[in-house]
């Protein structure tokens, strides 16, 4: 029997909605799911570590990765580059392991074009007011940057229709539970299992 490929799960939604928190909680509960560490040109925030939260790159280094086709997708977001290293993602799904990408919506659209088999989940804030307060609470951004992020967030919300699933992040635990249910259901999709059970079905 041929082994199933792992799932490429994209978790997207506006910055500040809690993608990072939800992803972290998901990884704590579900240690089987792999996580894609992105490359970025933005400065590390306090407590962030190279290779764990991001691969922090210079603009030149990032542009070289683009030229050499080493990114599955990339996007310019609030004046910085963000991108998903290609090899790790493809190797992981080929090994039959699930991987989650926590990325913004432009990048998610590019993944969908390149990898339509992916599972696309949109994390929804309970309200815009709640979203603004979450961005403000983080305390790492200036007023100007908060306004920019809110403008981007409103545009991002309109892209919801490109996703397979919408999960409201009212409580982290609820969101994680729903995402785990989605992953379980996706593994049971007939389309993904045809190859695996072909021999059984073909037996007279
Ligand atoms: P932050 O600067 O708050 O860490 O991230 C800003 C935005 O970039 C978030 O919406 C985050 O999900 C997104 N992001 C992080 N990594 C990637 C990536 O590899 N590709 C894309 N397209 N977006 C990313």
Work out the average pLDDT over 76-91.
Answer: 94
Quickly state the pLDDT bin for 187 (edges 50, 70, 90): very high
Q: Is 14 left (phi over 0), alpha (psi -120 to 50) or beta?
A: beta
Q: Is the CB of 15 under 6 A from ligand 1?
A: yes
Work out the average pLDDT over 157-179.
Answer: 95
The arrangement of strands across the sheet holding 38-40 comes to 54-56, 38-40, 80-85, 71-77
> Which of 19, 43, 103 to probe ligand 1 with, by most ligand atoms within 8 A of CB?
103
Work out the average pLDDT over 36-40.
Answer: 97
134-165 pLDDT, tens digit each: 888 776 678 888 888 888 888 989 999 999 99
Q: Is the CB of 16 under 6 A from ligand 1?
A: no
Q: Is 18 left (phi over 0), alpha (psi -120 to 50) or beta?
A: left
**Cα distances (angstroms) measured from residue 164 to each of 39, 120, 125:** 26, 5, 17
CATH tag, 8-36+97-203 = 3.40.50.300
Q: What is the pTM of this model?
A: 0.91
Q: What is the pLDDT of residue 166?
A: 97
Quickly state the pLDDT bin for 184 (edges 50, 70, 90): very high
CB atoms < 10 A from the CB of 65, how many? 18
pLDDT of 2 > 80? The answer is no
Q: What is the pLDDT of residue 99?
A: 97
Domain boundaries, the chain: 8-36+97-203
Quickly state the pLDDT bin for 204 (edges 50, 70, 90): low
Q: What is the pLDDT of residue 137?
A: 79
């Amino acid at each position: 029997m041929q082994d199933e490929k792992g799932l490429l799960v994209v978790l997207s939604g506006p910055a500040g909605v809690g993608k990072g928190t939800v992803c972290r909680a998901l990884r704590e509960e579900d240690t089987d799911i792999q996580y894609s560490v992105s490359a970025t040109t933005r400065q590390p925030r306090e407590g962030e570590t190279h290779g764990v939260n991001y691969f922090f790159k210079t603009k030149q280094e990032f542009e070289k990765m683009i030229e050499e086709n080493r990114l599955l997708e990339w996007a310019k977001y609030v004046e910085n580059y963000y991108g998903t290293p290609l090899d790790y993602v493809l190797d992981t799904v080929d090994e039959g392991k699930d991987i989650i990408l926590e990325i913004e919506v432009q990048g998610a659209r590019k993944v969908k074009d390149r990898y339509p088999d992916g599972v696309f989940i949109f994390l929804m804030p309970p309200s815009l007011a709640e979203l603004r307060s979450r961005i403000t609470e983080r305390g790492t951004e200036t007023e100007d940057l908060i306004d920019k992020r809110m403008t981007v967030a409103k545009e991002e919300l309109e892209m919801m229709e490109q996703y397979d699933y919408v999960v409201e992040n009212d409580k982290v635990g609820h969101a994680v539970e729903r995402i785990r249910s989605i992953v379980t259901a996706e593994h049971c999709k007939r389309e993904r299992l045809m190859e695996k059970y072909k021999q059984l079905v073909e037996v007279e």
